[in-house]
Amino acid sequence: SQKIEQNSEALNIQEGKTATLTCNYTNYSPAYLQWYRQDPGRGPVFLLLIRENEKEKRKERLKVTFDTTLKQSLFHITASQPADSATYLCALSLNSGYSTLTFGKGTMLLVSP
């Protein structure tokens, strides 16, 4: 069956360091992968999308890589700040257009000052 795995344990890092979150999947051939941020008690907010034919995408301090051979995406936050503390969700879609997203369970990131 199709599976998306994100680290269930919280990631604790110090302010200023680079945070790296992992999303692994099995039995998928996704057309694209997305990363969302979710704060407690709130809905997820879209951050970045990367397509199957793209290796890397950047937006300000955020970087996403997508390795379809390893079936893995890495999400990096450089120069992390306490305000980056949140849960980060990855989501896969099998194709564009009328496709639904399947979400991972998310990884909590805690950035301490």
Partner 1 sequence: DVKVTQSSRYLVKRTGEKVFLECVQDMDHENMFWYRQDPGLGLRLIYFSYDVKMKEKGDIPEGYSVSREKKERFSLILESASTNQTSMYLCASRGYQETQYFGPGTRLLVL
Give the binding site for partner 1 (CB under 8 A).
32, 34, 41-46, 49, 89, 91, 93, 96, 98-106
Q: Please report how many Cα atoms fall inside a 13 Å half-sphere around the Cα of residue 29, on the Cβ side.
A: 0
CB of 15 to partner 1, least distance (A): 27
Dihedral angle at the C-alpha atoms of 93, 97, 100, 104, nearest 10 degrees? 30
For residues 44 and 111, which CB has a smaller minimum distance to partner 1 in the complex?
A: 44
For residues 24 and 102, which CB has a smaller minimum distance to partner 1 in the complex?
A: 102
Q: Which two tokens stand for residue 35?
A: 């990363």
CB of 43 to partner 1, least distance (A): 3
CB of 47 to partner 1, least distance (A): 10
For residues 8 and 81, which CB has a smaller minimum distance to partner 1 in the complex?
A: 8
Cα 34 to Cα 17, 50, 73, 74, 112: the distances in Å are 23, 6, 9, 11, 26
